[in-house]
Amino acid sequence: MLQPVAVGTKSLTDYTHICGRGLIDEIRELAEPLKGRRVVHVSATAFGGGVSEILYTLVPLMRDVGLECEWQVIYGREEFFNATKLMHNALQGAPQDLDEEQWATWMSYNEMNARELSAGWDVCLVHDPQPAAMHQLVPEKAAGWVWRCHIDLSTPNPETIERLLPFIENYPQSLFHMQEYVPKGMGGNVNIVPPAIDPLAPKNMALSPEDASYVCGQFGIDIDRPLMCQVSRFDPWKDPLGVIDAYRTVKEKLPDLQLALVGSMASDDPEGWDFFNATIAHADGDPDVHILNNFNNVGSIEVNAFQSHADVLVQKSTREGFGLTVSEAIWKARPFIGGNVGGIPLQVEDGVTGFLVESAEQCAQRTLEILKDPALGKALGRRGKEHVRTHFLTPRYLRDYLRIFTELAQS
């Protein structure tokens, strides 16, 4: 058996006041003929990234509408996660491909995990490249198969995508965040489905300004001085070094400015600690730069507090599959600045619901504009929150999956 992940319970009804009765009724109608279907989500890790955050909400909601839904995590040792991290980077455009030994490691772990997957599922939903070979290895274990890609495949390393494509092209259904991410040669039915955030999760639920300030104060933030904040993994693509550069430029004009870089370390990201240490080195001992992660007791409520309290929220990615932290930030109705890459422009209309930037210099310029004009920040935040409410909350995501399961059941 693969490792089952324990999830809590959630009720779709609790989302009615946020998402509206129309959407909730549509979901119940779609779910009715699917009741009792056995669905398993298979992913690489149960904590520390956007995929796991989504599944902690999506799986309980699938159960709530009548599916027999499980979430299972594959087995992997360091050599496997080193290989799949290299694969992840190569698929997002890094020049280094896996060597033959690393491809063999990936394949042998897929074979082992495919053996461990139990049979008899109506739908097996495989997340990302780590377990992607499963469908080819044990197609008989599920009546329907779905591959969910959470990364940016718009300009992959050609050798890497060529090796991976035979394992993903024949999934009956696949999901990508954007049309630009669909590699040439994908067969089956390709769906464009952006992910979504849970507005009732501790990370996104409403916090009072007093509670947010109190939590930030406990981490050494001076709550009476302006705060710039980025919440994301410590990863070269998220460009925390560029955020520090932008902060320094703004600080020359506004010496009171503080910066918080808040991230979580994931079990399937062995490079994370190296880059975390590189970020600390780049901050060069500046007492107004606060670099925090889940090992400093920064959990969901703390992230919520930093986002709710910050004067400017940033996600200065240079590559981004989608960037759930963008919708999480904007949901707090705070002014937002993001890199003009990947899924970020889907979530941010430049100048309307936030700002899109191409460089540290532009990021600094927009930060200054917002800090000097609080009314601008408020307007961006208000419009941004409404955009997220309409497009990027979990009930809409659940509806999209139920439509795909309906197609699978009919094929």
Identify whether residues 175 and 256 lie together within a single domain.
no
39: left (phi over 0), alpha (psi -120 to 50) or beta: beta
pLDDT at 268: 63
Claim to verify: residue 103 and residue 240 sit in the same structural domain: no
Span of 8-22, 313-327, 377-391 with lowest mean pLDDT: 313-327
The answer as to whether 255 is a domain residue is yes
Of 231, 179, 130, which is closest to residue 343 (Cα–Cα)?
A: 179
What pLDDT is stored for residue 236 in this prediction?
87
> What is residue 282's predicted lDDT score, i.e. its pLDDT?
97
Counting the structural domains of the chain, the total is: 2
Q: Could you tell me if residue 164 is inside a domain?
A: yes
Q: Which residues pair with 258 in a beta bridge?
A: 227
Say whether both 77 and 168 belong to one domain.
yes
User: Does residue 190 share a domain with residue 217?
Assistant: no
Residue-level pLDDT at 323: 86
Dihedral in degrees, nearest 10, Cα atoms 16, 18, 20, 21: 0
43 and 23 both lie in a single domain: yes
Q: Which two tokens stand for residue 309?
A: 């309290």
pLDDT at 362 over 80: yes
Residues 231, 379 share a domain: yes
What pLDDT score does 228 carry? Answer: 98
Measured at the alpha carbon of residue 278, what is the angle toward residues 277 and 280, in degrees to the nearest 5?
Answer: 65
The reply to whether 155 and 215 lie within a common domain is: no
Average pLDDT over residues 52-72: 97
Residues facing residue 350 across a β-bridge: 354
Name the more confident of 287 and 293: 287
Q: Which domain holds residue 261?
A: 209-391
Which pLDDT belongs to residue 1? 86
pLDDT of residue 344: 95
In sequence order, which ranges of 236-393 are alpha helices (DSSP H)? 240-253, 272-283, 300-309, 324-331, 344-347, 360-372, 374-391
Query: Are the C-beta atoms of 175 and 193 separated by less than 8 Å?
Result: yes
Amino acid at 228: M
Same-domain check for residues 292 and 156: no
Quick one: 218 and 353 in the same domain? yes
Q: What is the structure's pLDDT at 342? A: 87
pLDDT at 270 over 80: no
Q: Give the pLDDT mean for 385-411.
A: 95
Tell me: do 148 and 214 sit in the same domain: no
Domain membership flag for residue 203: no
Q: Is residue 177 domain-shared with residue 321, that is, in the same domain? A: no
Task: Name the pLDDT band for 67 (thresholds 50, 70, 90).
Answer: very high
CB contact at 8 A, 199 and 393: yes
Mean pLDDT value of segment 296-322:
93
Residue 321 lies inside a defined structural domain of this protein: yes
CA distance 136 to 97: 22
For residue 142, give the nearest of 405, 355, 354 by alpha carbon.
405
Same domain, 352 and 402: no
Percent of the chain with pLDDT over 70: 99
Q: What is the pTM of this model?
A: 0.89
Burial class of residue 245 (count of CB atoms within 10 Å of its CB; 0-12, 13-18, 19+): middle
**Average pLDDT for the chain:** 95
The answer to whether the CB of 74 falls within 8 A of the CB of 81 is: no
CA gyration radius, the chain:
21
Q: For 161-186, how does the pLDDT look when each residue is reduced to its tens digit (9 = 90+)?
A: 999 999 999 999 999 999 999 999 99
Dihedral, CA atoms, 295, 301, 306, 307, nearest 10 degrees? 130
Least confident among 42-51, 123-132, 361-370 = 42-51
Q: Is the pLDDT of residue 146 over 80?
A: yes
CATH number of 269's domain:
3.40.50.2000
In a domain, 246, yes or no: yes
Q: Is the pLDDT of residue 267 over 70?
A: no
What is the spatial distance between Cα 27 and Cα 295, in angstroms, rounded to a whole number? 38
Residue with tokens 């606060």: 290
The pLDDT score that the predictor gives to residue 235 is 86
Give CA–CA dist 408/411, Å, rounded: 5
Q: What beta strand segments (E) does 27-84 contain? A: 38-43, 68-73
Residue 201 placed within a domain:
no
